[in-house]
Amino acid sequence: MMNALAATNRNFCHAARILGLDSKLEKSLLIPFREIKVECTIPKDDGTLASYVGFRVQHDNARGPMKGGIRYHPEVDHDEVNALAQLMTWKTAVADIPYGGAKGGIGCNPMDLSITELERLTRVFTQKIQDLIGIHRDVPAPDLGTNAQTMAWILDEYSKFQGHSPAVVTGKPIVSKSEREDLGGSLGREAATGRGVVFATEALLAEYGKSITDMKFALQGFGNVGSWAAKFIHEKGGKVVAVSDVTGAVENSIGIDIPALIEYKEINGTLKDFQGGDSMDLNDLLIHECDVLIPCALGGVLNKENAADVKAKFIIEGANHPTDPEADEEWLYFPDIYANSGGVTVSYFEWVQNIQGFMWEEEKVNFELQRYMKRAFREIKAMCKLHDCSLRMGAFSLGVDRVARATLLRGWEA
């Protein structure tokens, strides 16, 4: 299987060839603007010292401040962070929001750390990178293993150095609809990636004269993205027949009661032993009988080993890089740089609200998200038609073209 960086580079190079980019410009666009590696040493609750390696890769700022999540995961490594930072550059350009790409992470298992240890680690990491992030420089967000609380700690630590700066991170907490402006979190942000996945699903199905109500869905991953996507699909009359996460997998051929499953997981912390369906092997989710498969977990799960066994006709990439390029042409799919861009789009709305000091109602957030995603879909389709290419290459070409144009307009020198 191709690693994330090699796969992302391959997609970029293919798009660059489609666009006929100058080879020197192509090489320049591939090289990150800055790569940061820091050692974060913290006292553990038992009094011992522990050290963790943190990364921040800032890929490109031609179109605006760099933007991307911070993940806490044992497998965070330099290549992965580099690939995801580059992916964010193209994703923000496809969504047509004024950002470049960045990504960060700490190699740790958040499940093994207490809340106080996580807070110490987050604050030390922020101290080490605070002079390299900022409202108009680099704006972090939550990712795998981090959440709104993590962002609140970063905001607080950063503000000690730079003054109160709510727009320095997005994905901040919301106390309630009436108290959302306490830390500047935006309504609609938590559900945004899952909602965007559903907008992408509707757009792709409509191209083939189908709708969510006609379809059976399987979702791999039932965290933030998967659970919200499943909830919206269920509300729109779609039949979710299989769901999995790291704790277990559930199937029900007549459709899973998604609100009941969400409630069960909130109470029990697992999908295991849910009574509204039959237990199934985790590894069978991707090859389960369904019309639409939505991978919302880790990357590289669809590859040439299992491609032939996948029964879904449509694939919507809720995760980053779930499909290995070697298995790419097997299905009708929507690529990650479009399908999961709802989160960064509403992050942009949150940043705008923070800078203006004027918060939006949730209806406005959701309306604007749908407008942005519909526009991006039309533009991707136009690119596919112009270059006679796949949806993935249409999206990559759109993103790369916008970044290349901005770079040239700013006065890039060969």
Per-residue tokens: 201: 């699903």
Query: Is 216 a residue of the active site?
Result: no
**What is the pLDDT at residue 181?**
52
Q: Is 67 annotated as a binding residue?
A: yes
> Hey, what amino acid is at 166?
P
| Location of structure tokens 């136009």 | 382
Report yes or no: 226 and 194 within 8 Å, Cβ to Cβ.
Answer: yes
Is the pLDDT assigned to residue 249 strictly greater than 60?
Answer: yes
Dist. CA 275–CA 232, nearest whole Å: 21
CATH 3.40.50.10860 in the chain, residue ranges: 31-165
For position 297, what pLDDT does the model report?
85
**DSSP annotation string for 223-262:** SHHHHHHHHHHHHTT-EEEEEEETTEEEE-TT---HHHHH
Topology of the domain covering 191-339: Rossmann fold (3.40.50)
Has residue 260 got a pLDDT over 70?
yes
* Catalytic site residue from 103, 172, 231, 239: 103
* Secondary structure letter of residue 193 according to DSSP: H
Answer yes or no: is 313 a known binding residue.
no
- CA distance linking residue 238 with residue 213, whole number of Å: 4
Place of tokens 């849910």: 274
Q: What is the DSSP letter of 98?
A: S
Q: What is the pLDDT of residue 328?
A: 61
Return the amino acid letter for 359: M
CB atoms within 10 A of CB 408: 12
263's tokens = 């409630």
224 labelled ligand-binding = yes
In the chain, residues under CATH classification 3.40.50.720 are 191-339
Q: Read off the pLDDT band of 413 (50, 70, 90).
A: low
E strands of 335-382, at which residues?
none
Res 1: pLDDT: 57
User: Phi/psi at 274 (nearest 5 deg)?
Assistant: -65, 130
pLDDT at 325: 72
**Is residue 140 classed as helix, strand or coil in its secondary structure?**
strand
Kindly report, residue by residue over 25-58, the tens digit of the pLDDT: 999 999 999 999 999 999 999 999 999 999 999 9
Coarse DSSP helix, strand, coil percentages of the chain, rounded to the nearest 5 percent: 50, 20, 35
CATH of domain 31-165: 3.40.50.10860
